[in-house]
Amino acid sequence: MTNNSNVQVQRRGNWYQRLFAAMMAREESYGKMVGARKRTLLGTLHGNILEIGPGTGPNLQYYASDVHWLGIEPNPAMYPYLQREAKRLGLTVELREGQAERLAATDNSMDAVVGTLVLCSVRNQQTALQEILRVLKPSGRFVFIEHMAAPRGTGLRRIQSLTRPLYQLTGDGCHPNRETWTTIENAGFGEVQLEHIRLDVPIVGTHIAGFAVK
């Protein structure tokens, strides 16, 4: 890929969006914890790749150089950080402002859709997953790493539920207690392969990682 970018966005974002983007750009510890899994899941993808909620671009380093990458990001304040990361890596990126529940892509056009730490904050997981299915080519993959709810009845699950309002306020709509694995399994994919993992992260350490095939 050549070293340029195509950005379809005009505004800079409000103060909260700019603050959140600056915080995400400085976060490094989480990337170290999931870097090996990202390399395995993302490094083998080729063709047309759509990433939902790419943020400041922490996943760009894991893609093969021949992918055509499109990012759908609702926070325009993330874009300068992502552009700088793409330039550092020598990648072509196309960015569009939008929501996961209404993807700016045609039916059956994507070889893969990628989402990492996105389904926790979308307004409607079911709608977002149906959009992912719509834009994926037959046999295309949805690749994901997501934090999710702890098992029901556990102390951690109760803490997640109690702290949900705070997470939504400080984490750009994040829900720490969503049963995301169930939503993915029931979305209508032909195959789902995921693993439950536990990271050394307070409250939101319960994760899933894997892929689903259309």
State the residue for tokens 């080729």: 46
Residue 79 CA to residue 135 CA, distance in Å, equals 23
Q: What is the pLDDT of residue 9?
A: 47
Q: What is the pLDDT of residue 201?
A: 94
Q: What is the pLDDT of residue 11?
A: 65
**Per-residue model confidence as pLDDT tens digits over 100-124:** 999 999 999 999 999 999 999 999 9
Strands, sheet with 206-213, edge to edge from the N-terminal-most edge strand: 5-8, 93-97, 68-73, 48-52, 110-116, 136-147, 206-213, 191-198
CATH topology of domain 5-213: Rossmann fold (3.40.50)
Q: What is the pLDDT of residue 12?
A: 78
Whole-model pTM?
Answer: 0.93
Beta bridge partners of 205: none
**Per-residue model confidence as pLDDT tens digits over 17-37:** 999 999 999 988 999 999 999
Beta bridge partners of 206: 198
Which residues, at least 6 apart from 152, have a Cβ–Cβ distance to it below 8 Å?
A: none
Q: What is the pLDDT along the chain (214 residues), one digit of tens a residue?
A: 444 445 444 467 899 999 999 999 998 899 999 999 999 999 999 999 999 999 999 999 999 999 999 999 999 999 999 999 999 999 989 999 999 999 999 999 999 999 999 999 999 999 999 999 999 999 999 999 999 999 999 999 999 999 999 999 998 999 999 999 999 999 999 999 999 999 999 999 999 999 999 9
Find the helix or strand (DSSP H, E) in which 147 lies.
strand 136-147
Retrieve residue 30's tokens: 């989480």
Amino acid at 139: S
Question: What residue spans of the chain are helical by DSSP H?
Answer: 15-25, 29-42, 79-89, 125-135, 155-170, 180-185
Beta carbons of 131 and 102 less than 8 angstroms apart: yes
